[in-house]
Each structure stands twice: as structure tokens, then as C-alpha cells.
Amino acid sequence: MEFKLPDYNLWLMLPELFLFVWALLVFTFDLVTKRKKESAVGYSALLGLLLTGLILALVWTGVLVPGKANGYGSGFGNMFYNDAMALFFKIIFLGAAFMAIGSSFGITRQKIVNHRGEFYGLILLSTVGMMFLSSSNELLSLYIGLELTTIPLFVLAAFFKDNKLSVEAGMKYFVIGAFSSALLLYGLSFLYGLSGTTEIVQMKINLGLVHATIRDIGVILIMGVVMMVAGIGFKLALPPFHQWAPDVYEGSPTPIAAFLSVGSKAAGLVAFAKIFVNGLIVFYDPLQAPNDWGTLVGVIAVLAMVIGNVVAIRQSNIKRMLAYSSIAQAGYIMIGMVSLNEHGLASVGYYIFAYMFANMGAFAAVAIFEDKTGSCQIESYRGLAKSSPFLSVTLAVFLLSLAGIPPLAGFLAKYKVFAAAISMATADADYSWLYWLVGVGLLTAVFSLFYYANVIKQMFFSTEDSPYKIKFALPSLVVLLMGLVGVFWFGIFPEPVLDLASDISAAFGFLPR
């Protein structure tokens, strides 16, 4: 028998490999410069991300891939697979990492004096994990990608070693994270046991066959489904698996909280889409009860929107408020996720894209404010508009985008997920329960305006004068401008992003009818 080596196609992996090597360089760069150059390490990390983005573009257009017209295809014996979703989310991950690093310069100057290389390098390594995850094609590489993403984040969350809140955040994140990872892995093992394969596509076929032959597979699958929902629900901070999020966001360095709320969340979305929307699509339908996952995720989305938006109102710490806000945003995203038509995943893609700019921007503004004042209390923002108008305006724009005010990108994002759910619900009476999600989403969006507007009120409509005059470094300015341009530009001219996002739906086989 002829033995054929698998086709490695290392070219497809070039961005990941490059970024990985660059992360190691960042580690050593800090040592080589004897920790003297304050900002050079950070700039080198930013440069690495820009170069990775360039390489990603070159790979995708086929320039760097010998013998192929574009960057789609599989490598490493089908374990690594590039499709539209991989491309789209890699852009998100790189963007989120870029903005997180850009807003960290203040922290690395003041608080992290001896470990700048580790700080930036770990962010890059986590990004590499996310990128691998988005290209994984089977359960094991998916799980490993998820772990690669999370483990550096455990360290990053606890990075202020002499701050007990930060260490507590890291420890909490670590223990709960390990617990959920175990749940996820247990769930995955059920899938493997039922289908006999770890390849997601093959698994879909095997499960479909079993399903078609006996209709009633027993309840063995629900244990896997529930445990995987819990495991991924942790990454997405979806209720009832969300409790760690406010504590961890509050305790960890602000740029890391931002990176957690966008990068880690996007990684969880990829994992969810790959396992559920692709692998377990047969079991979406409530008709397949009790093995169905559609309504279960629907219930969780409702919980997320209600709990996130309601509890956020009472917060006095802006990082905790943004944590609850991000819980609520994940709820909106899950509406798109359970709408299994050509609009569903596309809306998820667009939502996370818009969310990246707004949320990273808001956290960057908070980080800048915190660097200067050391406070995260909302009341400290009183009268900021007079002393630091630019920062106040940008923060207000980001919060309004999160709330979904036109013409900002956040509005279109909410519109898209609701539209996807409604088109799914109107197409088939079986899915009319999606109307409920939309209803709750609209209602809670109104709630959300409450707490977003509260910050704006404190900044602009307070008669007190703020004692703080905020100046910020160039990278922070770049991040704020990037977010500002993002929420305006992609809110007004969304077509290129929407086109890219609808390729995700197409890659999952949801074609326009």
C-alpha cells in the first residue's frame, strides 16, 4: 500500500507562525534592551501585529501561497482549515490585540516596569491561540486552540502581582476556567463517543446517519450538549456561567479586561459556531428534543440580555458596568447564532466587528482615565467634558455605539441580528420562538441606554469641574481614533464588512435562497 504524507501546506499557516515567532522575539527584545526602553517593546508588538495583518492579507490574496489563487484550503492533514470564517475572525483577533496593546502603554510605563516583554508577548501568544482556533477543523485542535487562547490570559489577568484584586481575578479566572474547560472536554468526548471521529464535518455526517436511521438517539447527547454549552458559555460569559466576568474584569489590568471581553469572546463564538452550528446542526431543531440545543441557547441569550442589562444599571464601577454590558452584548450575539439561515452567522460576524471597535475603544478610554487618576468609579468622570473634551466625546461615542444608536456601527449590528432572527421566524412557524428573543432584545436595549447614558450625563451635564486633565500617549490616541473611525465608517459604509461576513454564512452552507 502506498503511504502518502499528508499535505502540510505550511503557507496557509504563515500568519500564525510569524506571529508566534514575533511573540518570542518580543520576549527577548525586552531583555536585550535591558528593560531600559519604555515604549520600544510595545511598539515592537504593534509592529508585529501590523506585519501579521499584512501577511494575512498576502496569504489570503494568494500572493504568498505557491500554486493557489487564494488562502482557502486545508493543511496538516485536514486539521488546519482556512475558510471565510477563519479570515474574518483572524481580522477581529488581530484588531482586538492591536487595540489592547495600544491602550497598554500607560500601564507598562507606570506599573509593569520589569515585565513589559512578558506582558506584550503573552497577549500575542493568546492571539496566536485564537487564530489557530479559528482555523481548526476538528475537535481536538479546536480544544487546544481554546486552551492556547485562555492560558496566557490567566497570567495576564493576574499581572499586577502585588495587587490583590488582580491576583484574585487571575485565580478566579483560572479555577473557573479550568473547571469549564473540563466540562467542555467532557462534552466533546461524548461527541467523539457517539460519532467515532473528531473531524467536525465527518462527525456531522456520522451523527446525521445515526439520527436518520433510528431517529431516537437517546439522551446521551444532551449531556454533551449541556456540558459544551456550559464550557463555551464560560468563554462567552453567558449567564448562568457569567459570574466570574465582573470580578475578573474589575481586577485585571484594563486593557486585558478589554481583550477578554472582545478577543476571548470572539474565540468562544468561533468554537460555538464550529461545534454547534456546523457539527450539531441536525440537533438544532426542538423537534429533536431532548437533544436539541436551539431553544436552550435561546433561553441563555434571554438570560444574558436581561441579567447583563439590568445589573449593569446598578454598577458604580465603570469596569464592572462594562463587564455586565459585555454579558448583555453576548446575549444579542447569540440571537444571531441561533438564527440558522444565510443572515445568521453574517450578523454575528458583523456584530462582533462593530462590537470590537466600540468596546475596545470604551475600555481604552477607561484605561487612559485610570492611568491618570487611578479611579474606575463612574462618579469620578464628573465634569470631564470641560477638562478633557476629546476623551469625553470619544467615550460617549463608543457607549452610544454599544447602546445601538444610529448611525454608529452598533445600531446596524443590532438591526442585523434581529433581522436574521425575524427572517428565520417568519420562514417557518416552528421557529416562532425567535420572536421572543427579538422582543426581549428590543426591550433590554432600552434598559441599556440607561447606564450608558448615565456615564455621558456625568461627563457632560455635571456642574462640577473635574480636577483631572487627561493627556495621553500616541498609541492611545491611535487606538481611540481607530475605534472612532471604525464605529462611524463601518456604521455608514458597512457593505465591505457585510460582504465578508456573509461569506461566513456561505462557508457554513447557508446560501441565499
Partner 1 sequence: MTEYTFLIPLLPLFAFIMIVFFTRWKEMFSALLSIAMILAAWVMSVVILIETLGRIDEPFQWAYKFVNLPNFVLEIGTLVDPLTAVMLVVVTTVGACVEIYSVGYMHNDPRFSRFFAYLSLFLFSMLGLVVANNFFMIFIFWELVGLTSYLLIGFWFEKKSAADACKKAFITTRVGDLGFLVGLFMIGIYFGTFNYGGVFEIAGSGVIPAGILTAAAIFVFCGAVGKSAQWPLHVWLPDAMEGPTPVSALIHAATMVAAGVYLVARSMPLFVTSAEASLVVAIIGLITSFMAASIGLVQNDIKRILAYSTVSQLGYMIMALGLYGYDTAQGHHSPGFYAGTFHLMTHAFFKGLLFLGAGSVIHAVHTNDIQEMGGLARKMKLTAPTFMIASLSIAGIFPLSGFWSKDEIVAAASHYPIFLIGTLAIAFMTAFYMWRLCFLTFFGEPRDQHRFDHAHESPKNMTYPLVFLAVLSICAGWVGLPWIHKGFATFVYHGEAYEPHANYLLMAISLIVGLSGIYLAYLMYYKKSISADAMAEKFKGLYKLLYNKYYFDEIYQKVVIDPVMAFAGLMWKFDANVIDGAVNGTGWLTIKWSDIKEWFDTWIVDGAVNGCGWVVRQGANILRFMQTGSMQFYALFIAVLVVLFGLYKFEVKFLKIGWPTVTIIFILGVTLLALLTRITQIKFKANRRTDGEE
Give contact residues for partner 1 (rule: CB under 8 A). Answer: 31, 34-35, 114-115, 161-162, 164, 167-168, 171-172, 175-176, 179-180, 183, 194, 210, 213-214, 216-220, 222-223, 225-227, 229-230, 234, 240-241, 243-244, 246-247, 250, 289-291, 296, 311, 313-317, 320
Query: How far apart are alpha carbons 37 and 44 in whole angstroms?
Result: 11
Nearer to partner 1, 115 or 204 (CB): 115
Residue 270's nearest CA partner among 118, 14, 96, 57 is 96
Minimum CB distance to partner 1 smaller for 291 or for 394 = 291
Task: Closer to partner 1 by CB, 214 or 429: give it.
Answer: 214
- DSSP character string of 1-27: ---------GGGGHHHHHHHHHHHHHH
* Shortest Cβ 341–partner 1 spacing (Å): 24
Beta bridge pairs of residue 73: 82
Give the nearer residue to partner 1 in terms of CB position, either 21 or 313: 313
- Cα atoms in the 13 Å half-sphere on the side-chain side of 477: 6
Q: How far is the CB of 218 from partner 1 (least distance, A)?
A: 4
Q: Which is nearer to partner 1, 319 or 343 (CB)?
A: 319
Residue 226 Cβ, how far from partner 1 at the closest point, in Å?
Answer: 5
**Residues 152, 129 contacting (CB under 8 angstroms):** yes
**Nearest-approach distance from CB 185 to partner 1, in angstroms:** 14
Distance in Å, CB of 467 to partner 1, minimum: 21
Comparing CB distances to partner 1, the nearer of 316 and 426 is 316
| Closer to partner 1 by Cβ: residue 241 or 284 | 241
C-alpha closest to that of 149 among 21, 269, 25, 324:
269
Nearer to partner 1, 19 or 222 (CB): 222
**Sign of the torsion formed by the C-alpha atoms of 362, 364, 365 and 366:** positive
Instruction: Provide the phi-psi class of 73: left if phi over 0, else alpha when psi is between -120 and 50, else beta.
Output: left
Cβ burial of 76 (10 Å; 0-12, 13-18, 19+) is: middle
Tally of CB atoms within 10 A around 281: 18
Lookup: cell for 255: 486593557
DSSP 8-class letter at 430: G
Contact 156, 249 (CB under 8 A): no
Shortest approach of partner 1 to residue 196 CB, angstroms?
Answer: 11
Q: How far is the CB of 24 from partner 1 (least distance, A)?
A: 16
Q: Which triple of cell numbers denotes residue 341?
A: 439561515
**DSSP 8-state secondary structure symbol assigned to residue 81:** E
Cα separation, 143 vs 484, whole angstroms: 34
Question: Does residue 512 have a cis bond before it (omega within 30 degrees)?
Answer: no
Residue 16 or 30: the one with the smaller Cβ distance to partner 1 is: 30
CB of 114 to partner 1, least distance (A): 5
> Minimum Å distance from CB 244 to partner 1?
6
